[in-house]
Every structure is written in structure tokens, then in C-alpha cells.
Structure 1
């Protein structure tokens, strides 16, 4: 069965699929793809058994994520067909395909022309703590600056995404008092997901990360760029452990979009 575009009426079934895989996404996360991108899938008996999502950006690239196949349907090339459909859609839109690959995914993507850009690591640990000096709760008027800082780091403006994160969880949003960085976080299915975090320097990013982790109650996930070794050491001291690696990859392009020296924590593999 060929993949087709899914409508939002199938969102509950998509959520079941990601929960079945043990992923952290919520219905609000899935809603972003239906509202701002395209969700492709294979539907059997009224429910999705395979999905993939495309989220185009104005920076000349588009994100591929949520490539999922229910265990009972694996081994039938459904995931491959979904991926091919996502690539066709981004080609139609004139966007370079980008994604955060797991090690298993990397083996699939490299033969398709995807090239590595930089590594990230998913960290998992406990929330709790306080807000350090130099950091304050983020307010609505901070959003314009955060959008600009995120665009610089990520490579494209994501105003609706960041505005949605702030609206969903203002208690997890922080800005530096000097305006040189921000962090957002959001409740997930099993843990608070920290990110994105953009700043001008690593010491500033440490303050923001401490505030975001401190605001959470319960488990925390975050995807830290591998270049920030001192932040990784701080996470270990804080009781965090490495969960899994990701590799940011783009089809036919090694140079990252945006400025990786400003990107500390990604928004998650579903959003980049």
C-alpha cells in the first residue's frame, strides 16, 4: 500500500504509534506537523501503521521526522516507502532534506546521499533545583529576540514553533538578563524535553540549562550538541546519563545550516 497524506483526524492513531515506540512526543507535538507540515502514512483498518512527517522551513531546507512503523508491520519496506515519499515532497518544495539520525537510521540514510554535519547526544536525568543568578523567567516580549537567536543558531525562523512552546509551558522558559540567550522546554509523554537552547557562549548556556533543568519535576530529556564537553561533564555531575546518540545529516550537504557555535540544545529530533 502506497503512503498517502494523513489528516488531523488520524492524530490519535499517530500518537499511539509514537507511544508504542517509546518516544516522548505528545498530541501537541504531532499537531505541529499537521498544522505546519505534512504527515504521510499507511493506514490499515482505520489506523496508521506507518508514518513520516515533513516540516519545511524558509532557510532552504526541510525536516524529516516521525518515521515510524508498528512492530507487526516491520520488514515490509513501509519505512522505506515513507522516507521516499518525504524526500519526494521536499524535492517538490525545493528544500534540502535534513534530519537527526539514530545509528540505525544513519546506515539507511548514508546510501541515499545524506552527509553528517554534527553529533548530538540525548541525555536523561532528574529535574529539580533553582534558577541561577543572571537568568529570569521568559516573558512574551522576549519572544522576538528568542526567535532571532534561534534562527541564527538553527538556520531558519521558527516563530510558530517557539511561540507554541512558550505558550504550552511558560514555567520552563528562561532568558538571560542581558538578552544574550534563551531556553525553552515542554512537557513530553514521559519526560520534560528541554530545547531549543541558543546562547552566545558556553558559560551562558550553562546558566540557561541549569534553570530549565531546575524548573522540571521528574525526568528530563535533552539533546546536547557533542562539541560542548564541559556541559556534558556538568550533566554527569548532575546525575544525567547518556541515552542515545544522534547525527544531524543533510542530503548532499555537509555544511550545517545556521551557526552551530550558538546551538547548545536542539529542540528534539522531531523538530531539529
Structure 2
């Protein structure tokens, strides 16, 4: 019999064990961020008293909630645990507005049965080694400083459709070398962040006024990655951006689909979103 209880920081070792079984990339710091942003709707499932799966729900103030980290121990699959976790998270999250998530192809089939609809396609691109061009002298691309972070957060709100102060501050604090901004005439024209992972380092989010700025930001961050494979999760609609990444040395690892449950309009213009923070964050 399945039972649910609130997921806590004490459960992070269990979450890490589940994500390792799934071959995912998270570190304990990522679970800490997720739980710090969750006001409820994050659960640990047990089956006959034994830990069996997880789901996380984070709230972006006002507009919507985000569901992620739907993980089930392989020995308990086929028992309805994943569906039970999702239904519990959805029941919690729907009380505050629309619910969003980024789905794998297998997960998408389940989410469609629960009432979700597609927003847009995403792809994870991977590179073992990047041939990074020599650094260009662009005075507008600068490291994100503490005094610049607030402006980047506001810039992000205009493109993402919600404030995600806690997430962006945590990403920058955990990996400041991956934090870069484009500043022109005192105004932010783009920014990027990144984070280390157990299998890859990840660049994202990358948010910018145009493709040229997005390229410069990604290159600035990539120069600081210490010889590890790199991933970037992109909006597949950004055709020029995608083509440039493939030329740079990235290959397609796997697709995702951004999905929503409930009325959703804030991200209809996604032209400034070049890379997401990750499917667990949006």
C-alpha cells in the first residue's frame, strides 16, 4: 500500500539514490534549492513502509507552480506510485493557479491523461568537449556582481513570466563563475547562470534580447567549465541558436516537452528564452 508524506531535507539522500537509478544529473544542492522553494506539494512515497519515490512542487509567486523530480524506484514501478505522486502534487498546486512541468517523452503520455497540454518542445544538448573561440573583447559581457543580480532577476521576470528570485540567487551563489550579464547603457540585455552536476555541468538559464547576446553569454560561462561534459536545455523553436550550438560541438541527447495544466499565457512570447534552468526548475 502506498503512503505519502512531506519531502524534507533529511530525505535528500533518498532522492539522490533515486536520481542515480534514473541516471539524472542533480547534486544535493539542487534538492536543497527545490525544497527551499517548495511551500508544499513535495512528497516522498512509501510502499509498505519502504521509500519508493519522490515529487517536488515549487511555487513561483503569483503565476504558477512547477512540478519536477518525479522519480520511482525501479522495483516499485507499475504500482501506480508515479501517478499517485503526481496527483497529490497537482491537487496541491492547482489551488494557486496553473501547473507547469517539462516532460520526457514517456512522462508526456501520462501527463496528457491527467489533463496537461503541450506548450513547446525542448531539447537537451550535450558536449563532451567544446571548441571555445578565443575570448573576444566585448566590454558589455561582464560577470554578475551582487549589485547586478537584482537587475538580472527583474529582466528574467519579463521573459519567464514570474519572479524566481530564490532560484536565481541560489544558482548564482552556488556557481558564481557561470554568472554573466550583458550590460549596455546601464541596462541588462541578457544574462546566464549555470550549475555543476554529477554527470555534466549545465549552462542555463540563458535569457537575452537576441541570439548574438545569448551566444556571447554562453561562451563566457563555458570558458569557466573545468573540463567536464556540458549540457544545455534549449527551446527547440530557437532555430538559429540551435544550429549554432550544434556547430559549436553539441549533440542532441534527448527531447522534452513543456506542458501546462490550467490557463496559461505568460510565456507565449518565448523569443528571449534561449536555455532553461533545467526541467526540475523551468
Do Structure 1 and Structure 2 share a fold, with TM-score over 0.5? yes
User: 2:213 aligns to what?
Assistant: 204
Distance of 2:158 and 2:20 partners within structure 1: 33
Distance of 2:145 and 2:131 partners within structure 1: 21
Pairwise CA distance, 1:31: 0.8
Distance of 1:141 and 1:32 partners within structure 2: 22
Pairwise CA distance, 1:250: 0.4
User: 2:260 aligns to what?
Assistant: 250
Distance of 1:138 and 1:35 partners within structure 2: 23
Contact 1:128 1:213 in 2 (8 A): no
Distance of 2:147 and 2:158 partners within structure 1: 19
Contact 1:52 1:68 in 2 (8 A): yes
User: 1:6 aligns to what?
Assistant: 7
User: 1:185 aligns to what?
Assistant: 194
Alpha carbons of structure 1 residues 127 and 171: separation in structure 2 relative to 1, 3 Å: farther
- String of CA shifts for 1:1-42, please: whole Å, max 9, x gaps: 122212211111111111221111110110122222042011
Distance of 1:220 and 1:163 partners within structure 2: 21
Pairwise CA distance, 1:59: 3.3
Aligned residues: 271
User: 1:86 aligns to what?
Assistant: 89
Contact 2:238 2:271 in 1 (8 A): no
Contact 2:241 2:274 in 1 (8 A): no
Contact 2:53 2:70 in 1 (8 A): yes
Alpha carbons of structure 1 residues 251 and 162: separation in structure 2 relative to 1, 3 Å: same
TM-score of the aligned structures, taking structure 1 as reference length: 0.94
Distance of 1:45 and 1:164 partners within structure 2: 36
- String of CA shifts for 1:39-60, please: whole Å, max 9, x gaps: 2011368763200010011132
Pairwise CA distance, 1:263: 0.9
User: 1:148 aligns to what?
Assistant: 154
Alpha carbons of structure 1 residues 154 and 268: separation in structure 2 relative to 1, 3 Å: same
1:1-272 equivalences under 5 Å are 1-37=2-38, 38=40, 39-43=42-46, 48-92=51-95, 94-125=96-127, 126-127=129-130, 129=132, 131-132=135-136, 133=138, 134-178=140-184, 179-217=188-226, 218-253=228-263, 255-257=265-267, 259-272=269-282
Q: SS at 1:180's partner residue?
A: strand
- String of CA shifts for 1:251-271, please: whole Å, max 9, x gaps: 134635374111110000000
Point out 4+ residue stretches in structure 1 off by more than 4 angstroms: 44-47
Contact 1:10 1:47 in 2 (8 A): no
- String of CA shifts for 1:86-135, please: whole Å, max 9, x gaps: 0011123x221100011111111112221111111100013463544241
- The alignment yields a C-alpha RMSD, in angstroms, of 1.8
Pairwise CA distance, 1:145: 1.1
Q: SS at 1:215's partner residue?
A: coil
